[in-house]
Copies of this chain bind each other. A is one copy, B any other.
């Protein structure tokens, strides 16, 4: 793990990504093709994401529940578009307890069919609405081009499922999740700027009437779909017979939403902020915000290091002591840099005899020699700035790679290197087909000012954001 081990991003971005995931000890391939082991550093980031998302989901009124992994194959067939979208990706259990099963069981690729079979029983009256549930779970989709954290045959996610009395209420909730849960976490916690908008019919979730999305731009200019919130209309309600007696005493089908984000967010963090030396973590998502490195074992060094750890911890930060003096200092230092720990403090006997320590700010790769006495305060001050600075950098990079264009040819050129913004009218009826021929797609539709296209307004006001997607 010596310096310069990583392939430069500009040379081969996918290879750089793979190397960061491996060398930062975030994840590895599992023994079954396409599966993934999430190692503690990767899982620690996911746990911090989870806590932030879970708090916001609960603030939005949804409660956690858990539905079975194993879905009878017949359930999937009940919603026509849904089965068409998911059947090529299914994994099927045919044997249990040493016997062949009467009906094969599918491993959930998503849980709309399972959840809605219960909603049909639990919902009777408008008093049961809205019903707002979420689950944290693993799902299985037989992806053909797996890639750690981005697209694996098993991944971890949360999936929300809700039922409402009116279309307006369902839409409002779908947008609430998009903004107050997803966009808020991505922007305020992960320091990743995202575009929000809705998908074209072509890119919509199988079974949805509208798919809202958060799209991020990665370090190579490509787009990553980071989270989606779907309006399902009454499609599943009709397929599963989810009806309720409304306040007027007549019967109606519910209006629904579903929404999810996954361990893909960990991949987004790597590709959104990483540099040629590894990962760069915003403190809010760093399993360790600060590492205090003892350059060598020595009583004075240990005393100073432990005191500093305590002081930074008392200020409310996650901090680790690295006293593995059996491993070379250089190797440890590069290791923490690869892992993206926001601040490193290096304490050795020579500096210490002069009362100083070295403080390294990871995202700037800036080394400062400073007095031991002021180090804790300086570390906290640096931590308070990292998130904002990473965000500013990401916004500037995106701005540089985004172009407003007026023709499809220009959209192809600009979209191949970043995002092209083009009026929906200029894109034309066959625009998406023509983009697809260049491996491009419309990532989202939004208003010219970047705001969400909500109720009202006409299609002609919309801008299509074109890019190359993961």
| Interfacial residues, chain A to chain B (CB-CB below 8 A) | 28, 30-32, 35-40, 43-44, 46-47, 63-72, 75, 87-98, 104-105, 107, 114, 117-118, 127, 133, 137-138, 140, 142, 144, 153-154, 156, 324, 326-327
Contacts and interface: CB of A to CB of B under 8 A. Distances in A.
A97 B88 contact: yes
Given A70-B153, A89-B97, A92-B95, A31 B114 contact: yes
- State the majority secondary structure of interface residues on A: mixed
A68 B37 contact: yes
A100 to B, nearest CB: 10
Given A31-B68, A32-B105, A154-B68, A326 B133 contact: no
Nearest to A127: B326
Contacts of A114: 30-31
A127 B31 contact: no
Nearest to A287: B63
Nearest to A113: B31
Nearest to A70: B32
A56 to B, nearest CB: 16
Nearest to A143: B97
Contacts of A35: 68-70
Nearest to A103: B32
Contacts of A71: 31-32
Nearest 9 Cβ contacts at the A-B interface:
A97-B142, A30-B68, A40-B63, A35-B68, A38-B66, A92-B95, A91-B96, A32-B70, A96-B142
A69 B140 contact: yes
Contacts of A118: 28, 37
A88 to B, nearest CB: 6
Nearest to A133: B40
A97 B67 contact: no
Nearest to A125: B326
B90 A91 contact: no
Contacts of A154: 68-70
A31 B117 contact: yes
B94 A92 contact: yes
Contact of A37 (B67, B95, B327): B67
A138 B88 contact: no
A62 to B, nearest CB: 9
B31 A75 contact: yes
A65 B38 contact: yes
B88 A92 contact: no
6 contacts: A31-B68, A32-B105, A36-B68, A40-B63, A43-B66, A91-B95
A66 B133 contact: no
Nearest to A152: B68
Residue from A40, A44, A47, A114 whose CB has the most chain B CB atoms within 10 Å = A40
Contact of A98 (B31, B65, B88): B88
Contact of A40 (B47, B64, B69, B117): B64
A93 B96 contact: no
Contacts of A39: 65
A275 to B, nearest CB: 26
Contacts of A133: 40
Contacts of A88: 97-98
Contacts of A137: 138
Nearest to A326: B127
